[in-house]
Amino acid sequence: MAGATFQTDSAPTPTLDPLPRRLADFATIGEALDYAARGCRGLNFFDARASLVRAYPYADLRRDARDDAARLIAAGVAPGERVALIAETSADFARLFFGAIYAGALPTPLPLPTSFGGREAYVEQIRTQLGSGAPMVVLSPPGLAALVAEAAAPIAGCTAHDWSIFLAQPALPATLPVADPDDIAYLQYSSGSTRFPHGVAVTHRALLANLGGHAVATEVKDTDRVVSWLPFYHDMGLVGCLLSPLANQMSADYLATDDFARRPLSWLTLIGRNEGTTLSYSPTFGYDICARRISSSIDVRERFDLSRWRVAGNGADMIRPEVMQHFVDTFDAAGFRASAFLPSYGLAEATLAVSIMPVGEGIVTDLVDERVLSGEGYAGVSDATDRPTRYRAIVNCGKALPGLTIQIRDESGAVLADRHIGRLFVSGLGIMAGYFRDPEATAACLADGWLDTGDMAYLADGYAYIVGRAKDMIIINGKNHWPQDIEWAIEQLPGFKAGDIAAFSITTPGGEEAPAVLVQCRTSDLAERARLREAIRTKVRAITGMTCVVELVPPRTLPRTSSGKLSRSKARSQYLSGEIQPFEIAA
Question: Is 400 in the same domain as 490?
Answer: no
Mean pLDDT of all residues belonging to the chain = 89
Question: Is 134 in the same domain as 112?
Answer: yes
pLDDT of 389 higher than 70: no
Pairwise pLDDT comparison (112 vs 106), residue with the higher score: 106
Question: Is 446 in the same domain as 340?
Answer: yes
Domain count, the chain: 3
Question: Is 418 in the same domain as 311?
Answer: yes
pLDDT of 514 higher than 90: no
d(CA 346, CA 332): 28
Please say whether the beta carbons of 220 and 248 come within 8 A. Answer: yes
Question: Is 308 in the same domain as 362?
Answer: yes
> Of 190-204, 276-290, 304-318, where does mean pLDDT reach its minimum?
190-204
Q: What per-residue confidence (pLDDT) applies to 320?
A: 83
Question: Is 464 in the same domain as 497?
Answer: no
Q: What per-residue confidence (pLDDT) applies to 6?
A: 41
Number of Cα atoms under 13 Å in the Cβ half of residue 570: 21
- Final residue belonging to a domain, choices 424, 449, 469: 469
Q: What per-residue confidence (pLDDT) applies to 94?
A: 98
d(CA 353, CA 78): 31
Q: What are the beta bridge partners of residue 435?
A: 200
- Final residue belonging to a domain, choices 446, 469, 492: 469
- Final residue belonging to a domain, choices 422, 442, 469: 469
**Residue 310: which CATH number?**
3.40.50.12780
Q: What string of DSSP letters covers 425-470?
A: EEEETT--SEETT-HHHHHHHEETTEEEEEEEEEEETTEEEEEEES
Residues 6+ apart with CB under 8 A from 549: 506, 514, 515, 516, 517
Pairwise pLDDT comparison (570 vs 251), residue with the higher score: 251
Q: Is residue 350 in some structural domain?
A: yes
Question: Is 65 in the same domain as 163?
Answer: yes
Question: Is 80 in the same domain as 67?
Answer: yes
Question: Is 488 in the same domain as 374?
Answer: no
pLDDT of 92 higher than 90: yes
Q: Is residue 12 in some structural domain?
A: no
Closest CA to 253 of 238, 243, 267: 267
Pairwise pLDDT comparison (22 vs 475), residue with the higher score: 22
Question: Is 565 in the same domain as 457?
Answer: no
**Residue 78: which CATH number?**
3.40.50.980
Q: Is residue 464 in some structural domain?
A: yes
pLDDT of 384 higher than 70: no
Beta carbons within 10 angstroms of residue 498's beta carbon: 17
Q: Is residue 405 in some structural domain?
A: yes
CA distances from 393 to 135, 464, 480, 544 (A): 44, 14, 18, 15
- Confidence grade of residue 296 (pLDDT, cut at 50, 70, 90): confident
Q: What per-residue confidence (pLDDT) applies to 119?
A: 81
Closest CA to 21 of 36, 33, 43, 34: 36
pLDDT of 1 higher than 70: no
What percent of the chain lies above the pLDDT cut of 90?
65
Residues 6+ apart with CB under 8 A from 121: none
Pairwise pLDDT comparison (190 vs 443), residue with the higher score: 443
Domain hosting residue 512, numbered range = 474-577
Q: Is residue 347 in some structural domain?
A: yes
Q: What per-residue confidence (pLDDT) applies to 400?
A: 97
**Ranges 122-136, 396-410, 466-480, 565-579, most confident:** 396-410
Question: Is 490 in the same domain as 462?
Answer: no
Q: Is residue 288 in some structural domain?
A: yes
Q: Is residue 239 in some structural domain?
A: no
- Confidence grade of residue 548 (pLDDT, cut at 50, 70, 90): confident
Note the Cα 534 to chain centre separation in Å: 35
Question: Is 391 in the same domain as 534?
Answer: no
